[in-house]
Amino acid sequence: MANRYGEVALMAARQRPSAGINPVARWESAVATLYPTSPAARKKGSPRGAFLGLCEAGLVRDIPAGHYAASADNKSYAVRAVTLLTEGKQSWSTSTLWRAVENDPGRTHHGQMDIVLALWRNDLIVSKPYMPDTARYRTSMQLYRHVRTLKQCMTRPDEIHRSTKGSGKPDAKSRMSNH
């Protein structure tokens, strides 16, 4: 049996995928179910960051790799823990896994290893990252970039107009000042 945050991760990972339900929404829904009266427990960042980090890396079954705004540190801890687990050289507890992941003996884990072990023990960690259909993903990324460019044009039309010199393209100096 996993601890409460491990249970949150299991609930989030097992939710049926549907259009528009990303891992962030899955996590929020599951944590609200298990911690309905504790805002502090719902906002705890380390377990959330570990779960979303594994999702970003495509290591959670049926959740495609993507950008889910995970904490870089918590993602790193979780991914390193999965690497150790997949090597299969020993049986891990949360404390031994944490000591192998984090070299500082003074630091303690804050639920990250509970997330990893709960998913691992319930066969929800995959050995190869789950990537979406490349053609569809490429198309959606192109669409995302196009929409982002359009939004920038709509919010700063005067800057874009000033930076063009008859050619319809921004000059090199204005492109440099925008970055």
Please report where in the chains the tokens 């801890």 appear, as a residue: 77
Please report where in the chains the tokens 């829904």 appear, as a residue: 29
73-91: per-residue pLDDT in tens? 999 999 999 999 998 888 8
* CB 81 within 8 Å of CB 116: yes
Q: Which residues contact 101 (CB under 8 A, 6 or more apart)?
A: 77, 80, 81, 84, 109, 113
Q: How many Cβ atoms are within 10 Å of 28's Cβ, its own excluded?
A: 15
User: For residue 121, what are its two tokens?
Assistant: 């023990």
Q: Chain centroid to CA 91: how far?
A: 26
98-148: per-residue pLDDT in tens? 999 988 878 888 999 999 999 999 999 997 776 655 544 455 555 555 455
Q: What is the pTM of this model?
A: 0.70
Determine the 3-state secondary structure of 47 from DSSP. helix
Q: Mean pLDDT score of the chain, rounded to an integer?
A: 78
Nearest to 54 by CA among 135, 138, 114: 114
Instruction: Please give the share of the chain, as a percent, with pLDDT higher than 70.
Output: 69
- Residue 13's Cβ-count burial label (10 Å; 0-12, 13-18, 19+) is buried
- pLDDT value at position 42? 87
